[in-house]
Structures are given as C-alpha cells and as structure tokens.
Structure 1
Amino acid sequence: MYKVLIVDDEPSIREGMTTLIEWEDYGFEVCGTAANGREALAKADELEPDLMLVDIRMPGINGLELIERIREKGSDCHFLILSGYSDFDYAKKAIGFRVDGYLLKPVDEKELCESLARIRDRIIEEKEHKRQQESEVAWRGEQLIASVVTGMAGDSLSEELWDPISQRLGLNWTGFRVALAEADLTEDEESAGIGLLKSRWSRELDKETSFVFLAEPYVGILLRADEQGEAQWRRELAELLDSEKVPLFLSVGSKVDTFLHVRQSYEQALDGMRQRFVLGMGVIVQADGAAEPRPILEPGELDSYADQLFLALDIGNKESAFRTVEALAARMTEARLDEETVKSSMAQTASVAFNKLAAANPKTFTSTQSFAPVISEIIRQRSLRSLVSHLNQAIEGTVRYASEHSPETIIKQVEDFIRRHYSENLKLETIADLFNYNSSYLGKLFKTHTGEYFNTYLDKVRIEKAKELLAQGLKVHQAAERVGYASVDYFHTKFKKYEGVSPSAFKGRPS
C-alpha cells in the first residue's frame, strides 16, 4: 500500500476525506492527517508519504509553500491540491511545483478516485524505473569492483578516478580486505546457488562494512578494514558460517590501505582457498603479514607411507592401515597442500600399496579383484575427509575380501562343502563354478593345501562315512548308496584300497 497524508485546516474535511474513499481499492492507505502546513512538514519527514492531499488556503504555511519546501528537500512525494478557489494563478503555480492534480471543493468523489488511480499508476511506474536505475548502478558498481579486485581491469584505475566512484558506492574507506567464500554445492547447484548467495548477502550484510560481488566460482566480499570495520566483518563472517544452510569455507586476505592495492588482498584470499580441500568446510582462513613457513613432504616420504599401508594390508590389520592413511592426511593438512597435490599423492600411495599387495598375494587377488576403480574414484572426492573415508572403505573391503578369498579360506570352504554333500554326485568342475574359480587352478590349490587330490579326498570322506554306516548294521549296498557310490563293485574296490579289507570283512569284524 502507498501512504497518503491528508492536510487541511478543517477537521470535518480531514475526517471526511479519511472515511469518504475506499483507499485500499486504489492501493493507498491514510497514514496520517495534519491541520496546517507546519504540522504537515513534520509529519512528512516522519511518515514519508507517497501522496499528500493539500489544501491551498491554510494559516501560517499555505499549501503551495508546503509543497515548495518539501520539493526543496528532494522528495518524490506526489501532491493533489484541494481548494475552494478556482483561481487560475494558483493552478499555474501548482503546475510549476509538479503537482498531480487540482480539485475544487467540494470534492467530487468520482473525480478524486480517477485521480487516485492515475497517481497510483504513476507511482508504480516511477518506483519500477527507480528500482531499475538502482539495479543498473549496483550492477555496474559490482562489475567495476570485481574487475579491479580480480585484476581484469589492469592498472587503469587511479586515485582521481576512484574518489568519485568510492563516494557514489559508499566505499570511501581507509582500509580494505578481500574475502572469498566457497559453498558446498553440487555441480548442478553451483551456478545458480552462487548467484543466490551473492544476492542474499548483498541485501543482508552491512553495507557500511562490506560490498558483495561475484568472483566465480566464489562469492567475493570487499571488507572495510579500519578499526570499526574489522570488528564488524569478523562478527558477520562468523555469523555466516553458523547461519547459512550450506557449509561454507571463507578465506580472507590481509589489509591494504588503498583500493588500488586491493588485488594483493584478493591474491592472498585466493591462495587461502587452496586450503579448503585439506581443512574442510566451516572454516575461516585469514592471511596476515608474512606467511608462516609450512612443513613439506620430504622426498621418499610417500614411499614410506605406501610401504606401511602395504604391510598392514598384507597381514590383514585394517586398524593399522586406517592409522597410516590418517597419518598421511594429517601431514598433508599440516603442509596445507592444494587439492590436486593431495589427490595425486594419495593416489600414488594407494596405488603402490595395492599393487604390492596384489603381487605378494597372486592367489588371492586374481583378475576378479581390481583396485583400479578405488584409485580412479579418488579424483571425484570433494574434501580430504571424504577421500580418507573412501580409502578406509576400500581398505576394509580389501581386508574382508582377502579373508574370504585366501587359498586357506577357500580350501576350508571346499572341504566343508564335501563333508556336507559327500553323498551327491560331486565333481571338481561343479565346485569350481560355485566358488568362481578355474577348475584346474582350484584342483592345484586343493592338492597344495590338503596333500590330496580332490577325488582322493572325496573317496576318503565317503569311506569314513561308510564305515560308520556299516558299524551301525547297514548292509554293504545300502552303505554304498548312502555315501554316493552308484556301483557296489566300485565301492568295494575303493573300500578295500583305503582300508585293506572288503566292506563285508570290515562289517564282520568284532566291535
């Protein structure tokens, strides 16, 4: 609703005008009334009306004088003059003050409503035009700031050029810093999400101490770095971390005394952004003065971590492997390594360790188990913590796979399978398929770990079971059938081979 102030020295007119019109139907609301020009001046400052209905003839300051004084203040208020006099001189003077209409008392309701509709449309048009102008000025200011801060404008800006610009943008500060903010957005959210953050922060952050601009893929914030501004922006950035729905990483450059040197602060903030991968989100990094020396990864250090990781994997100690990965991650964080270096170093360490593991355990890690996806997935991680989690999952899976697929484990499973299914028509080829092994390779593993060929082992299990059945009083042909021999003669031959006597003779022995 647009605000209306009614100014008339007659109480009945003020009350009548307030209640006569359905103001809301025309987009207005009566925000107040005034009995004279002096009171109207005070209320105009307080209420900032969009439209004033003003009587010409009032004691003290008359209507035209009131309009003139308000215009001198630069107000965009609209005026509708009410008068009991049809004096053309008043009308001519009113036109000079850019009034929107001149109505004679008693006011015709229809004529007043038509005037209100016309003025409302004009106010809407003016406010939209003003909004567009302000948006254009803000956009141009943002583009200028961004181009100077990021260095795209080169060295074309001078103090003489900057002074009027800083006055217009409200940036005539005595010290500056640049902050860059990265939001934890998905690839689909990044372009729109960054723009939304920039727009919201432009509205919400204190314009006395900050100026928000786009520095893709980041949101940039020009900060006021004098004594008053330093305390304010520290508080505001901390509040951003706490209140923003998406996790943020903020990097702040050091203070510069003039806007012409602001690119130095930007470069420092940009360098700080390279620490985001190792430090994670929810952090503010600030550069001040000379950079502190950081420890570096020594030559051969990655090989040492790779050897530790391999040894832990080789003995199946996943906790030790986890500690090795965490220790390497801590060293990378301490050294503040950038994302590309971290990923390549981690990939190199993991690749060496896994390749050594596969070479040392060729029977366990066959072609069915490949570490290539584990290594390639490293490049897709968005933080060091997610990378560590990814490797730890791979370690856990590798240790579990080794325990489940080591030759000893496989042979124990085959032996157990034989003891539970000895009465069936078992063949090495069938069991190899069940365990996803080549039958020839499984046969060699079985002989190596049991000292028996598969068929010999199966026969011995069957004969042992047959001996139990015969001892229980079953006939020879019944025992043969129960343990999986279709031919009694074949059973007789196998029994005598392993026991030295025939099944009948064994059955006839005294217990």
Structure 2
Amino acid sequence: MLNILIADDENKVCQLIKSLVDWEALDMRVIATAENGIEALEKIRELTPDIAITDIRMPGYDGLELVRLAKETNPRTEFIIISGYRHFEYAQSAIRYGVNSYLLKPIKKDELTDTLTRLGEKLRERTRQLSYEEKVLRTLKSDEETLRQTFLSDLVYRRDKTLKTASLDRINEDFHYGLRPGNFCFGILKLDGHVFDDMENLRFMADKVRGVMDRLLPECTFDYELLVAGSFFYFLLNFEESMRSQVRRQMKALFDEVRIQGGILKDFAATLSLGTVCGGLDGLDSSLKNARLLIEERLVAGTGKLLEGELPQKGSFADSALFAEFNSRMSQALESLDVLSVREALQQLKSQMLASPGITGHELLQMTKEVCNLYLFFMKNYRIRIEDDFLENYNLGADNCASAQELFDYLIRKIAASYDMAARLKRQDENRPVRVAKQYISEHYATALTLEEVSAVAGLSPAYLATVFKKDTGMTFLEYVSKVRMDMAKQLLKETSCTVADICEKVGYSDVRYFTKTFTKYSGLKPNEYRKLYS
C-alpha cells in the first residue's frame, strides 16, 4: 500500500482531498496532513511518503520550495502540485524539479483519481511490487499499445495503403483495436509557442492530453487512439452515428481542458480541428486531409479555436502573375549577392500575400515552402553552397508558426541567414584567385612579373584576373606590383645599408633612373632623402 501526505494551509482543503478519493480502491492511504510548508517538510523527512499532494502557495515553504528541499533528502517521493495560479514561472519550476502532475483548482475528482492511479503504477513498477501476473499483463499492454500506435502512425503518414481497404476484423486482430462499423474521423490538436522548444513542456502537455482523453472519450466512442508527433496530436475516433454530437461535445470539452492546463505555460496556444466524418476506413484519408487543412487555417483564423467544416477550394497562388513577378525579382536579388535586396523581395511578397483577400492558411504555408524551393533551385543552379538540411529545418519550423505574420517573419529570417552565409562564402571563393595572385606577387616581386604568368598561377584568364583584381584592390595589376615593390624598397632603405642600385635590383628593377623616378612619385621623396629622414 502506498502512503500519501496532503499539505495545504486550509484544513478544509486537506479534508476535501481526503474525501474525494477512494483510497482503498487505489491501494493507498493518507498517513498525514500538514498546514504549512515547514510542517510538511518535517513529516516528509520523518514519514517518507510515496506521494505528497501540496498546494503551490503555503506559509513557511511554498509548494515549489517544499518539492526542492524534500527531493534533496527523499528523491523517491512523487509530488502532485495543486494551484489556483496559472503562472509560467510556477509551472516551469515544477517541471524542472521533475513534477509532471500539476492540477489546477477547483480540483476534479476524476482528474485527481486518474493522476494518483498513474503515479501509483509508476511507483509500484519502480519498487518492483508487481506480481508476476501483473508484469506479464503490463508487458502485453505495452505490446498492444505499440501495435495500436503503429497502425495509427501508418494511417497518418500513409505508409501502408492497404490499411484503408482492410476489414475491421483484420485491423482489430492485428493491431488490438476494438473498431466497429459506424463513423470514423480524424482530429488534430496543435500546440504552438516557443515554450515547446523545451521537450519537458511538450511531454508535460502530452501527459495531460492523454489523461483528459481517457476520461472523456470512452463513453461516447467504440474506440479511440492518440498519436503524438512533436506538437501535433492526432486523434482517431470511431463512434456510432447517434453519438456524433456527443463526440463533438467531448472533444470540445477536451480542448477546453487542454487550454486551461496549458494556461500555466508562457506563450501557450492551442488549436483543435475535427476532420470530416466518414463511414469507413477508406474515408479516413479525406478526413485527415480536411483536419490538416483546418489546422493550417489557424494561420489566418487565429489560434485558440475549434475548427471544423469544409474549406473552399482555391487556385494556386504559385501560378499567379503576382508570384511570377516575385520569381523574377527574387532571382535578380539572389544574383546580386546582396542580402538586403533579398530581404526587400521577401518583404514585398509578404505584404502582397497578407493583403490577398480570401487567402487560406494552406496557401500561405505552401507558398512559403514554394519560395524555399525557388531559393534552393537558384542556389544550386548558380553552384552556391547552402546547408544540406535547409528545407527540412524550414518545414519543421514553419509547421510550428501560429500566425501568417510569424510564418513570413520566420521565412525571411531563415532565408536571409542562409543566404548571408552563402554569399560570404561565395565572395570568398571568388576572391580566392586574387588572394593567390597577391601571395605569388609578394613572393616573386623581385622577378620580371607579367599578368600572364600570375594569371596562370591563379587559374584564370589574364583578362578576367585583371578585372577581378581591379575590383578587389582598386588598382590595376601593374599598379599593385609597383606598390609591393615600393613598400619593400622603403623597408630596405630604412633597415639596411644597401646602395640604391642594390635595392633597385632587389625589388625587381633593372634601371636605377626609372626606379628612382617611380619611388619619388610613390613616396614624395628620392630614395636617399627617404633614407636620411627615416633610417
């Protein structure tokens, strides 16, 4: 039997919790109550309860401080946090301390019982209190859940096209479902917000969704299953026609509870879509497609809504004259190797699309992906290297944008960052022959250098090297060679006692008079005058 401690600064709340639960049925017992954090910590250290149920706000130590201190001495105690406060900081701290059981007031009997049941199973498994028969049943249940998840995953990702034509008997036997003739449909719950960049928060919400689902759906469905794919939650629902309205009400109630639970997380948003109802497995593709289109519609309609019904079919924006103009403008911008021009082209497309009347969320999402394809095509065509996983990473991020504004800002930020890096690398590649030429000149300035000789070393034609050399240095090839020779002559005049004739030869000149004339023009002083002034 598992031991329970209840802590709340109001004794009547402690008594309420004690009376809400059938402790004997859960194989649990309440061994103590506490009315402040200090008393609760002393009893946890003395009695080492398996589960402590505590309010978030108490005198002495608050609930989070109690969890932290108790975990230091008794890390095996599991905590259920109860709060009337929906503050991000509380939830984040609780999750960071390993508390995934976070209940909001007013406390619901079913939710508390379900939470205690799951914690009880976790603790018994951990302490090896399960009998052999219970272990066998748990293994079978795990295998059954794996098969059920496999079936739903194959439907969602269309891996096995034979499933939609398979008989219900075969599905039930092979995948451990309890499907019956009647109605089928897909629902999708989408969670949005940067708070879900932290996988602990996503696991926290997944646990909440499963708990609410298991309370609300059994009585109105033949069978149901949930597949969690990142921040997308796919529901498969099977029910009789007479329960259609009840299923919708329960899914709406599920959505409302999820929004309340998610309210403890910062910048949390949720949207639920219900796909079209069909009369068999063969109609689930259409139901799933409809649910996906509806979820994408949150980009336009906003989050926090239950979306259902058919969306009007529209033409492709990619085939429009507007996109053709953008295509031309974007290509010119990309060719310029100027990230500002690329940003301006994307900003203009953003303004035009967001102002387009009646545009759907699906069109917006697909258009941004089409822009990414255009970007990839151009960069490949011009042999400009970018990240191998650019498109994959973009698609993942785009699916998690909750509004059209956020989607386009993400598109612009993603392409601009990628292009800026690629352009810098491209410019470096283009400048490489110039760098090679400069290095060769610095090593061979004392010889009779020619443009043809240096261009052969750099791997370019003399004419093209002359062009890129002038663009990079602002000087012609001969002007640059002369500068290198004059700089070396200055150094030799200052640091050695070599004669002007010797220096003339050392820096690549054979005529002292020409060397002297060139040096005087370059430095404003004759060689001997320069030596007297600077040596």
TM-score (norm 1): 0.44
Point out the structure with max Rg over C-alpha: 1
TM-score (norm 2): 0.43
Higher RCO (Cα < 8 Å, 6 or more apart): 2
